[in-house]
């Protein structure tokens, strides 16, 4: 696995465009950075990649920032948008005109997917 000719790698190789630095256009580099590269290969002049991550997961955030600085060619960084889930939900709650959706995001979605220290202390 990891060699050109491998169906797994061949699926992504044709998508490598000018947005990816040459030094990262190898099967080994792709696999070393798979979690981020599988998203970055979709960046082109007609598309963006929006990368959403939990605010408290600094490892993911730092990895994404590193990819923006080192894996993407200069000039493509603005096509890779980073957003913390919590910021996205806050923005949605601010912009939604449907109180039912606001309540869903505040209670059901957030309660299911985000750690709440206050609730943990109550247990």
The pLDDT value recorded for residue 1 is: 42
The parent domain of residue 73 ranges over 7-122
Nearest to 49 by CA among 59, 62, 64: 64
CA angle at residue 74 from 72 to 75, to 5 degrees?
A: 105
Question: Is the pTM for the entire model greater than 0.85?
Answer: no
The pLDDT value recorded for residue 8 is: 58
Q: Give the total number of structural domains in the chain.
A: 1
The pLDDT value recorded for residue 49 is: 95
The sign one gets for the Cα dihedral 18, 23, 26, 31 is negative
| Residue 72 within a domain | yes
Burial of 53 (0-12, 13-18, 19+ CB in 10 A): middle
CA distance 56 to 101: 24
CB 82 within 8 A of CB 65: yes
| Residue 101 within a domain | yes
| Residue 2 within a domain | no
| Residue 114 within a domain | yes
Per-residue pLDDT of the chain (123 residues; tens, 9 = 90+): 445 566 656 776 666 778 999 898 888 888 899 889 889 988 988 999 999 998 999 999 999 999 999 999 999 999 999 999 889 888 887 887 788 887 887 788 777 777 665 554 444
| Residue 1 within a domain | no
H or E, element range at 42: none
């Amino acid at each position: 696995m990891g060699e050109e000719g491998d169906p797994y790698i061949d699926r992504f190789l044709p998508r490598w465009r000018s947005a990816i630095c040459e030094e990262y256009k190898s099967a080994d580099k792709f696999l070393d950075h798979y979690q981020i590269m599988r998203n970055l290969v979709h960046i082109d002049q007609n598309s963006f990649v929006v990368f959403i991550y939990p605010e408290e997961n600094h490892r993911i955030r730092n990895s994404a920032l590193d990819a923006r600085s080192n894996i993407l060619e200069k000039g493509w960084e603005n096509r890779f948008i980073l957003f913390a889930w919590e910021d996205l939900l806050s923005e949605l709650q601010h912009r939604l005109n449907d109180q039912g959706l606001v309540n869903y995001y505040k209670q059901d979605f957030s309660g299911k997917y985000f750690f709440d220290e206050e609730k943990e202390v109550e247990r």
